[in-house]
Amino acid sequence: MPIHLRGSTYHLRRRVPKRYEGVEDRKVVYVSLKTDSLAEARRKEGEVWDNLVAQWEALLRGDTDLARERYAAARDLAQARGYEFLPAKKVAKLPLPDLMERVEASMNSQGKIDDRKGRAFLGAVKEPGTSLSECLAIFWELTKDEAAEKSPNQLRVWRNGFKRSIGTMIDVVGDIEIEQLSADHMMELREFHWGRIKRGEVKPRSANKDIMFVGTVLRKVNKMRMMGLNLPLSEWTFKPENIESRKPFSTEWIKRVLVEGDNLRGLNDQARGIVLLMVNTGLRPSEAAGLQAANIRLDHAVPHIEIKAQTEGERRRALKTRNAQRVIPLAGVSLDAMRAFPDGFPRYYDKSG
């Protein structure tokens, strides 16, 4: 029986499991249950033992070189022991009896401070900073409202852009802490992208997008977590290349190639319908593919479609920009295409490309 009466007080007596021999000097532990009632002792037995195990587990986790795990283990050990987890400066200001109690609790059997216990009870551990990879994880949490508006494919594409940009940053400068980010790190990132531009691997606008995505993530985390950091994130982009405006297709070409000819015969019915719908509406392919029955108004005096965000249900979908919301009248081949598919184009809903 693990409960023993010593004098007038019941104690818990149990052998230390082999798993914890490296962090517990005693072979057998005796812990006062602080009661002379056997019933009360039995009630407290499990709680006291669980607390001891929690302390030993925290000690095991504290025996690591990983700063964040070491910090978390120290915090958990202090809490399991019943201490408030405090930094060393605050521990030093505690009343002398409380300070001495923590010092004694930090000692090993040789009368020396145990490193793991010292971190936990005396605050001898520095709180780790926030790495770039952790910033991205925090960014996902901070943008749940924005993500909730997107369709599964939109969400995948949106996230991939940020993953790629932060991943590139980590490849170039390492998974540094945001608190350590310097202008030198940003210059390294810029030089990396400049090399890609010179080799013809990317255009300046693509490199700029990557750099701006990094800034979006880090600014959001810095602001929403109230870090108060002065981050060097401005003026690292490249001068965009001159982009000639696209010349519109002529009416004659549209009629000859898309409407009257057989050039679309290789497409399935829904794909052909999307192309014809775009003729008189100027829709983006993704907008045409994302149409839902509720946004197709063929019974109206002026048949039309509504391009707007869908914020609820399985078919939620965000707009690319605020100005993308609009009402577009239907006429000619675009009206014919919509009449042929009054419920939209389910084969291509939420598809890329």
Q: Is the pLDDT of residue 151 over 70?
A: yes
Instruction: Single out the residue in 186, 208, 224 at which a domain terminates.
Output: 224
Highest mean pLDDT among 151-155, 217-221, 254-258: 217-221
Burial 52-89 (b: 16+ CB within 10 A, else e): beebbbbbbbbeeeeeeebbbbbbbbbebbebebbeee
Whole-number mean pLDDT of the chain?
Answer: 86
Q: How far apart are CA 327 and CA 348, in angstroms?
A: 21
Are 282 and 182 in the same domain?
A: no
Token representation of residue 81: 């022991």
Handedness of CA 269, 271, 275, 277 (dihedral sign): positive
Q: What is the pLDDT of residue 229?
A: 92
Q: Is the pLDDT of residue 65 over 60?
A: no
Are 116 and 11 in the same domain?
A: yes
Residue of higher predicted confidence among 93 and 265: 93
Are 204 and 268 in the same domain?
A: no
Are 139 and 114 in the same domain?
A: no
Task: Tell me, yes or no, whether 31 lies in a domain.
Answer: yes
Residue of higher predicted confidence among 163 and 41: 163
Q: Is the pLDDT of residue 294 over 70?
A: yes
Residue of higher predicted confidence among 59 and 235: 235
Say what percent of the chain tops pLDDT 90.
32
Q: What is the pLDDT of residue 236?
A: 94
**Structural domain boundaries, residue 304:** 251-348
Instruction: Single out the residue in 205, 224, 243 at which a domain terminates.
Output: 224
Say what percent of the chain tops pLDDT 70.
92
pLDDT bucket at 63, cuts 50 / 70 / 90:
low
Q: Is the pLDDT of residue 58 over 80?
A: no
Are 9 and 83 in the same domain?
A: yes
pLDDT, tens only, 129-150: 889 999 999 999 999 988 888 8
Q: Structurally, how many domains does the chain consist of?
A: 3
Are 31 and 114 in the same domain?
A: yes
Instruction: Single out the residue in 100, 121, 142 at which a domain terminates.
Output: 121
Task: Tell me, yes or no, whether 127 lies in a domain.
Answer: no
